[in-house]
């Protein structure tokens, strides 16, 4: 072994000893970080002799699939090196390798890898296969748009040309990567409709080749399903590994995995004890990876039966008095929606949601408005929803607008939530990335000591905002039009629609929400409020082309004083042009503003003073474009945080043009800024000739969420 590698291992061992013995902390990434300082190629050197070696990446399910695949390899007789704790950056993989020691020469490797680190790990490790699970929106302030993640993974595969790509063909975003590289592709997917978990929001349903909207024969959830482009014919590739006969049982799922790589199809029957359809994908990916590596699947079911998810994920803790807590990790809308499905499957009665906004979580929490909490209306007896974490106030507002009919209680911890759960009851705790370990640690302590808190009577009155207001007389309801939510759905814009419609309904103002989807005619003749949201570059370009053909309709609505809220990409579209990469895209020329490319992204919490409402407006910006207003346009407000806003230079944020509010602020904007919502409603009513003084609402939760965002943005 090279001297430098030996020194790297010795240094890593010393770092691990010091971290665990002296500081009494887990080793984590530190040994790997030290080893990489000594030898930047330590991952390549120490993984060279591993066979087979597999890397697992994707947005959701990496840790579970990696652990299951590693167990399957071990069940086939391999001694496996694996970063089971989920430390999935290059330093975490390096730590697993340097701390594994030197055992038998027939070792295998199975590693979870963060999507953005594949380009650093694959060229060094040269694995036999990369298992690509899915691509969903996640930590946009860190990862950027999904297009960027696709570019990184594709480049990683180009630099490791002998690596086979075992990919989820049901996800067009994964299939698009396979379409761009020359690596051997082994697609897997569910080859039949399941009719179980289709989501309200998907991350992209546009063709990777021509950007036309995809047609779906069926959808499983998100953008996963059987798709085809009606314009160019691009479609889900033929499956090398196909799940068929998928059946929901009382204990989980059963399905058959067909290995179709040869003319003779081999069928493997699989039983899982997990109820979420996402676990069908995780199990299928692990088995496909095992088979792709040339391993025998004879013991896979045995391995699956014995498998326990890592770090308390999906674990049920018993507390001695009959109380139980199911702990689940969910860090993005798709993950949360899968957990919501499990709560529904068990007809849960007590729910605790924990939301943090630390660096590892992403500081933008607007994604919580894409969680389908409204599905919990199906529960027969939801009694309590507790919310905790650094952004618990935001989650409380989200729960409030879901109108679940249960009290909302802000808590400091899962132990605090358990005070409202009686003996013999079960609490479903769902937490995002950094909120999850403390939840598990608390539950482990409580289950060992049997010192669960004494049960208390929960609040009896739900946190509601309905006021006793007389109905507003209108000849027809206020018509709220949401433009292209099937494409522009990147920043929780559904929360803006919810804020408008709920605040009307709570006041007795009749309203209705209409969606205009891609390909539909734009009719704004009786529109009162229009929302144009933000999307990924590919999706925004498709909307731009769609609107260019109907520009006069939108322009006439604005000229007539129509109320319009345009967020981020939608805001840019209203101007003369904007940049998509190096390409200048012609806008709609409705407002006098221009957007050029910036060298960096403006990312972070923002606060502005605006004439629209008394309280400062708060939100989160994440944009590379630099927007400059024409001489005749007025900004929405002045930034209270230097270096933020339209361009980071002139102190302006957004645009206020008659009834048009354009802004880069999401979060989403309206739920935390009820004054802006009420301004839009008042403008719409006045335009209808029905000016009224809006009845006050109980905005205590909204004000609390606003104040948290204000403190983060301004430091006070």
Contact predicate 139/181, CB 8 Å:
no
Q: Give the three-class secondary structure for 516.
A: strand
Contact predicate 134/61, CB 8 Å:
yes
First to last CA, the chain: 56
Strands 660-663 and 655-657: antiparallel
DSSP string, 328-363: EE--SHHHHHHHHHHHHHTT-SEEEEE---STTT-S
Contact predicate 109/81, CB 8 Å:
yes
Contact predicate 595/626, CB 8 Å:
yes
Q: CA 414, CA 453: separation in Å to the nearest integer?
A: 10
- Please give, one letter per residue, the 3-state secondary structure of 360-426: CCCCCCHHHHHCCHHHHHHCCCCCEEEEECCCHHHHHHHHHHHCCCCCEEECCCHHHHHCCCCCCCE
Contact predicate 694/507, CB 8 Å:
yes
How long, in residues, is the chain?
Answer: 716
DSSP label at residue 535: -
Mark whether 657 is an active-site residue: no
Inter-residue long-range contacts of 553-560, CB under 8 Å, 24+ positions, other chains counted: 553/522, 553/523, 553/524, 554/522, 554/524, 554/530, 554/588, 554/590, 555/588, 555/589, 555/590, 556/524, 557/524, 557/527, 557/530, 558/590, 558/591, 558/657, 558/658, 558/659, 558/660
Strands 652-653 and 637-639: antiparallel
Mark whether 544 is an active-site residue: no
Taking residue 635's Cβ as centre, other Cβ atoms within 10 Å add up to: 22
List beta partners, residue 653.
637
Which residues are within 8 A (CB) of 262 and not within 5 positions of it... i.e. 6 or more apart? none
Burial of 692 (0-12, 13-18, 19+ CB in 10 A): middle
- Please give, one letter per residue, the 3-state secondary structure of 622-642: EEEEEEEECCCCECCEEECCC
Rg (CA), the chain: 26
Give alpha helix (H) positions in 450-598. 494-505, 537-548, 551-559, 569-573
Q: CA 261, CA 680: separation in Å to the nearest integer?
A: 58
Inter-residue long-range contacts of 580-587, CB under 8 Å, 24+ positions, other chains counted: 580/537, 580/540, 580/541, 581/537, 585/541, 585/544, 586/544, 586/548, 587/544
Q: Which one, of 315, 313, 289, 305, lies nearest residue 80 by Cα?
A: 289
**From 363, 428, 657, 666, the catalytic residue:** 666
Contact predicate 639/653, CB 8 Å:
yes
**From 110, 504, 568, 657, the catalytic residue:** 568
Q: CA 41, CA 48: separation in Å to the nearest integer?
A: 11
Residue 166 sits at the vertex; the CA angle it makes with 163 and 169, to the nearest 5 degrees, is 140
Give alpha helix (H) positions in 488-536. 494-505
Give alpha helix (H) positions in 450-550. 494-505, 537-548
Give alpha helix (H) positions in 139-248. 140-143, 146-158, 172-180
Q: Which positions are catalytic?
A: 568, 666
């Amino acid at each position: 072994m090279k001297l430098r590698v030996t020194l790297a291992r010795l240094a890593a061992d010393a770092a691990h000893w010091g971290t665990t013995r002296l500081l009494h902390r887990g080793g984590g990434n530190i040994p790997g970080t030290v080893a990489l300082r000594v030898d930047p190629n330590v991952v390549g050197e120490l993984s060279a002799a591993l066979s087979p070696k597999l890397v697992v990446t994707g947005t959701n399910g990496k840790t579970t699939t990696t652990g299951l695949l590693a167990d399957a390899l071990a069940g086939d007789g391999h001694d496996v090196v694996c970063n089971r704790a989920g430390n999935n950056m290059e330093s975490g993989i390096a730590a697993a390798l340097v701390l594994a020691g030197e055992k038998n020469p027939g070792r295998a490797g199975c590693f979870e890898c963060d999507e953005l680190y594949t380009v650093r790990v694959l060229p060094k490790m040269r694995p036999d296969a990369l298992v690509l699970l899915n691509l969903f929106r996640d930590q946009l302030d860190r990862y950027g748009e999904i297009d960027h993640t696709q570019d990184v993974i594709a480049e990683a595969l180009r630099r490791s040309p002998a690596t086979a790509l075992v990919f989820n063909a049901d996800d067009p975003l994964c299939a698009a990567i396979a379409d761009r590289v020359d690596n051997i592709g082994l697609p897997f997917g569910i080859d039949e409709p399941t009719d179980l978990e289709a989501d309200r929001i998907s991350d992209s349903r546009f063709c990777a080749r021509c950007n036309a909207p995809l047609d779906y024969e069926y959808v499983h959830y998100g953008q996963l399903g059987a798709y085809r482009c009606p314009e160019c014919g691009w479609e889900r590739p033929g499956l090398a590994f196909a799940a068929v006969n998928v059946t929901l049982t009382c204990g989980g799922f059963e399905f058959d995995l067909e290995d179709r790589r040869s003319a003779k199809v081999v069928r493997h029957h699989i039983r899982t004890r997990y109820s979420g359809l996402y676990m069908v994908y995780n199990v299928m990916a692990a088995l496909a990876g095992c088979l792709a590596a040339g391993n025998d699947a004879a013991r896979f079911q045995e391995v699956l039966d014995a498998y326990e998810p890592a770090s308390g994920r999906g674990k049920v803790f018993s507390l001695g008095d009959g109380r139980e807590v199911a702990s689940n990790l969910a860090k993005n809308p798709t993950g949360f929606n899968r957990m919501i499905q499990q709560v529904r499957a068990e007809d849960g009665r007590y729910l605790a949601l924990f939301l943090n906004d630390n660096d590892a979580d992403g500081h933008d929490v607007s994604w919580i408005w894409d969680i389908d909490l409204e599905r919990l209306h199906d529960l027969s007896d939801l009694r309590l929803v507790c919310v905790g974490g650094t952004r618990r106030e935001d989650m409380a507002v989200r729960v409030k607008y879901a109108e679940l009919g249960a009290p909302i209680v802000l808590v400091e911890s899962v132990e605090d939530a358990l005070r409202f759960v009686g003996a013999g009851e079960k609490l479903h705790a769902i937490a995002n990335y950094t909120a999850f370990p403390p939840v598990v640690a608390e539950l482990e302590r409580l289950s060992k000591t049997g010192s669960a808190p004494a049960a208390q009577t929960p609040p009896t009155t739900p946190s509601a905002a309905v006021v006793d207001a007389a109905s507003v007389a209108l000849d027809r309801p206020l018509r709220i039009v949401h433009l292209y939510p099937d494409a522009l759905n990147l920043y929780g814009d559904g929360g803006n629609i919810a804020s408008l419609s709920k605040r009307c309904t709570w006041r007795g103002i009749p309203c209705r929400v209409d969606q205009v989807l891609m390909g539909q005619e734009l009719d704004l003749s009786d529109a009162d409020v229009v929302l144009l949201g933000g999307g990924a570059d590919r999706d925004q370009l498709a909307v731009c082309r769609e609107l260019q053909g109907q520009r006069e309709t939108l322009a006439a609505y604005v000229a007539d004083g129509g109320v319009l809220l345009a967020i981020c990409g939608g805001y840019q579209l209203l101007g003369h042009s904007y940049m998509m990469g190096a390409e200048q895209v012609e806008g709609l020329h409705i407002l006098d503003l221009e957007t050029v490319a910036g060298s960096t992204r403006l990312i972070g919490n923002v606060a502005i003073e605006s004439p629209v409402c008394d309280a400062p407006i708060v939100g989160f910006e994440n944009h590379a474009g630099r927007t400059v207003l024409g001489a005749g346009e007025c900004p929405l407000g002045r930034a209270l945080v230097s270096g933020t806003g339209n361009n980071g230079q002139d102190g302006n944020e957004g645009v206020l043009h008659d009834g048009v509010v354009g802004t880069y602020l999401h979060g989403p904007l309206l739920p935390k800024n009820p004054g802006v919502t009420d301004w839009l409603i008042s403008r719409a009513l006045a335009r209808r000739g029905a000016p009224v003084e809006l009845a006050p609402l109980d905005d205590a939760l909204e004000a609390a969420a606003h104040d948290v965002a204000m403190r983060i943005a301004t430091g006070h």
